[in-house]
Structure 1
Amino acid sequence: MTTHPSGSHIKLHFRDSKGELIKTVEANEGDDILSIAHEHDIDLEGACEGSVACSTCHIILSPKHYDLLPEPEDDENDMLDMAFGLCETSRLGCQVKLTRELDDMTATLPAATRNMFVDGLSHPAGKKPTHH
């Protein structure tokens, strides 16, 4: 883990679909939400490992923080279109990099996710991924 000067941590709150606090963590500027979730054992899947090929790291952000982010790229929007429980402030956790302005942001996990790899919805020739 990289050491940073004292006070450079960004606070991030994870909530479940009912709004209950799962955990509040401190992360570093430049970290993405998916990596932070995995580092702190928060159940945010990320089946494609951040390659923007699934929607399993779908999160819902607080509106004031969502508005501070750059617009999603086309490939992220395409994956979000397939996300379960899509909201106006939905993003893919792998695509949200923390900045100082995002301090104290809340990321809410949806009630469910759709994993096209495992569900076989659009995987070529019905193949399922193999674990490495």
Structure 2
Amino acid sequence: MPTVHYITGDDTVHSVDAHEGDTLMHVAVRNGIPGIEGECGGEMSCATCHVYIEGEWRERILAPSNDENDLLEMVDDLRPESRLGCQIKVNASLDGLQARVP
């Protein structure tokens, strides 16, 4: 079972187990990670699952779609490492992934 490390604004690391095939958003909501709301339920319409993918992990996930990029343009704190957690599916190759919560 892959582990995901969510880093919140106060630099607290929340390490949680994820099921393969779940999205980062669903894993965060299920585990009560502060700052990840997932208001739209993963339908890519709200950006309340915005995260920053740390370092080397950005190269291990698929590039964002045009629709994801369009929605990300609406967030206040957009960075090159910005992603929507609802668009990243967890798999074994992402064991140890670090996602910073804005």
TM-score between the two structures when normalised by the length of structure 2: 0.91
Q: Quote the Cα distance in structure 1 between the aligned partners of 2:37 and 2:29.
A: 8
The count of corresponding residues between Structure 1 and Structure 2 is 101
Residues 7-48 of structure 1, C-alpha deviations (whole Å, 9 max, x = no match): xx0011111124322x11111211101110111111311122
The answer to whether residue 27 in structure 2 is matched with residue 27 in structure 1 is no
- What 5-or-longer segments of structure 1 have no aligned partner? 1-8, 111-132
Tell me by how many angstroms 1:89 deviates.
1.1
Identical amino acids, percent of aligned pairs: 35
The answer to whether residue 64 in structure 2 is matched with residue 72 in structure 1 is yes
CA RMSD of the aligned region, Å?
1.1
Contact 2:29 2:38 in 1 (8 A): no
Q: Quote the Cα distance in structure 2 between the aligned partners of 1:20 and 1:52.
A: 26
Contact 2:25 2:85 in 1 (8 A): yes
- What 5-or-longer segments of structure 2 have no aligned partner? none
Q: Structure 2 residue aligned with 1:81, among 73, 80, 85?
A: 73
Which residue does 1:97 correspond to in 2?
A: 89
- Choose 1 or 2 for highest CA Rg: 1
- Identify which of structures 1 and 2 has the higher relative contact order when contacts are C-alpha pairs closer than 8 Å and 6+ apart: 2
- Show the 5 A alignment for 1:1-132: 9-21=1-13, 23-43=14-34, 44-110=36-102
> Match of 2:75, SS?
coil
Q: Quote the Cα distance in structure 1 between the aligned partners of 2:79 and 2:44.
A: 18
Tell me by how many angstroms 1:101 deviates.
1.4
Tell me by how many angstroms 1:77 deviates.
0.5
TM-score between the two structures when normalised by the length of structure 1: 0.72
Q: Quote the Cα distance in structure 2 between the aligned partners of 1:74 and 1:47.
A: 21
